[in-house]
Chain A
Amino acid sequence: MAIEVRIPTILRNYTDGAKAVEGGGATLDELIADLETRHPGLRDRLVDEKGLRRFVNVYLNDEDVRFLGGLGTKVSDGDTVTVLPAVAGG
C-alpha cells in the first residue's frame, strides 16, 4: 500500500497527465520529497521557503492540512492526499 496523491489539472504536466500518483513518507513533507524524485518540479509548486504555498490547498483524506500540522502532518499508507489550487482573486 502507498499514499494516493490526487493532482489537479494545472499540475498534471509534472505527472505525465496522471490524475493521481502514489508516494510514501511519514509526514506530508517527506511525501512531497518522495514525489519530487519521480515528478521533478512538483515540490516547488506546492512549497516555498515558508511552508505550503498560500494559494495551494492540500487535504489529508477529508481535512485541510492547515488545520492539522501543515507540512509536518503525519501521513500513512492508505491515506489519500488531495491537492487543489485555491480559487481566489481580487
Chain B
Amino acid sequence: MLTIERAIVDQIVAHARADHPDEACGVVAGAAGSDRPTRFIPMANAERSPTFYRFDSMEQFKVWREMDDRDEEPVVIYHSHTATEAYPSRTDISYASEPNAHYVLVSTRDDDETEFRSYRIVAGKVDEEQVRVVEAYEPDSVD
C-alpha cells in the first residue's frame, strides 16, 4: 500500500496537467527505509513526448546524488499517461529499475477526472496496490 499526503498527490496531478499532452514524470523522495514520500521533485521529460518519458540523465544524476547525500531514496516514481489508462505499459514494465519504489501512474486522458494509481514493478511483474491519501503523516514513532 502507498500512503501519501494529499498535498503531494495534488502536486503530481498539477504537474501531469501542466505538461499534458506530453507525459510528465518525477520522483517523490523520502528517508531511506521509511516508505514515506515527502520531497516532491518534478523532473524534465527528456523525450518531450505524448507516448514516452525518460529522465534527463544529468538531472537524474544530480537528483540521485542529492538523495544519497540526504540519506533518501526514490519512494515514488511517477509519470503520466495522456491518452490511455493509468496502468503500466509494456515499456514501463521492461524499464522499471527501482524494486523498492512505488510506481505511480496518473492518467490525464479525461479533462475532468484524473486517475491516480500505484504499482510495484519487480522483475517484470506488476502488482497494483491500494493508495491511501492522508492529510498529514502520523508523527514518527519512537524506536
User: Which A positions have Cβ atoms within 8 angstroms of B?
Assistant: 8-10, 55, 57, 59, 62, 64, 66, 82, 84-90
Contact = CB atoms under 8 A, between A and B. Distances in A.
Interface string B11-44: 0000000000000010100000000000000010
Contacts, number: 67
Instruction: For the complex of A and B, list the 9 residue pairs with the smallest distance between their C-beta atoms, beginning with the closest.
Output: A85-B97, A89-B92, A90-B91, A88-B54, A90-B89, A87-B55, A57-B57, A88-B95, A64-B57
Given A88-B52, A89-B52, A90-B89, A10 B61 contact: no
B53 A84 contact: no
Contacts of A84: 57, 60-61, 64
A90 to B, nearest CB: 4
Interface of B: 25, 27, 43, 47, 51-55, 57-58, 60-61, 64-65, 77, 79, 88-92, 95-100
B57 A86 contact: yes
Given A64-B58, A64-B61, A90 B97 contact: no
Contacts of A8: 97
Tell me whether chain B's interface is mostly helix, strand or loop, or mixed: mixed
Given A10-B97, A59-B61, A86 B90 contact: no
19 contacts: A9-B98, A9-B100, A57-B57, A59-B61, A82-B65, A84-B60, A84-B61, A86-B60, A86-B97, A87-B43, A87-B60, A87-B77, A88-B54, A88-B55, A89-B91, A89-B92, A89-B96, A90-B51, A90-B92
A81 to B, nearest CB: 12
A84 B53 CA distance: 16
A44 to B, nearest CB: 15
Nearest to B79: A89
Contacts of A64: 57-58, 61
B54 A9 contact: no
A87 B90 contact: no
Given A62-B61, A64-B58, A82-B61, A89 B89 contact: yes
B54 A87 contact: yes
A85 B88 CA distance: 18
Contacts of B60: 57, 84, 86-87
